[in-house]
Structure 1
């Protein structure tokens, strides 16, 4: 009895498998030039007008293309395009169930008149005699908007790519262009504000006490210069911080 049930189940599964048929359609063809050369990579777009469903494919090395699993019926609008050639557009295409509709075409070269292109160069002042080296300018807006946990000048020097800021027991230490912080120079309104005795790790006056030598709230803007070749700036080999 068990063998009969097994044979019946196998028969029903086989019948179900054979009852499954093709439910879609497809299109295919070849895209060439007027010289009958295959247009490799030509784009084929098929749009099912009632639903807006879009199908696409590209021509292969021999110019052939095929789009499978398309919705039956229509109408379809088929567009075949290639760079430097006129587009081929055909409308009102209907696809039959389980069949491949062949749409081949030859594209003609297109001649396009290019308009005149005028290129104008304007000096932006990036390269000029006033630029004497790598520099970073920190404006009042940057001071007000950038995050500053310690409210020190080191918080804003960090945005300089050549700067490395480290924290120590006696405050921050700023290394510019890989130099020791004692080779830097700090100017406040043109006056030198360095640690003349070299006792502080920060290289600024009063740095050994761990406090800031000045309040950033009193600074309108400052500039970080990396070893500029300007004879007016001297007394350092790493960089200068001019506030």
Structure 2
């Protein structure tokens, strides 16, 4: 099996590369940070193929796929993992640049990758698309504004893929984690404020990248007649917020 993982330089993506290769599969690891990719490739050896890729660049996606060696061209699993959150301010105080960056990466990058890889899967009658969503796509919270909206897009896009792919042999899953530590997610969101990022996980036992990687591997290796439409994961320390009420 060959799995193509975007955002593979750290966090979920790197953990997925480790899980798939540990089980004898090959992984195309793609991300913007080439130094991180090279380090991961040095760790995992010939079972991985590192590719510098920015999913917001359509031409780069096409060039990366066209440039794959013959032995790596049949992508069995696409994991659309590249994504980010930026900022926690309320909508009226948020940066439009941040909003656009999240839309470009979480939505446009994901659909561009899918559009590029999907036709070959349908032609073969087999393949799996795993889109990394978030519980933020289902449950709103203050400061979630555009990030949550992008993940709601991922959920609905995945379900609509399922509607189109019935009978093709190609599967699509929205994998939606809740609170997860051990990644750079909150550090990026807080724009390098490591103290603020650490407070997000203070006093909790959150999910870990390995949990998400193991779930993705389970989805990808189910019998071909089974499709996980959507799977939502939360740590036991997390639940559902009450409705926001302003008093006085």
TM-score by length of 2: 0.19
Structure with higher RCO (Cα < 8 A, 6+ apart): 2
Structure with the largest fraction of helix: 2
Structure with the largest fraction of strand: 1
**Bigger radius of gyration, 1 or 2?**
1
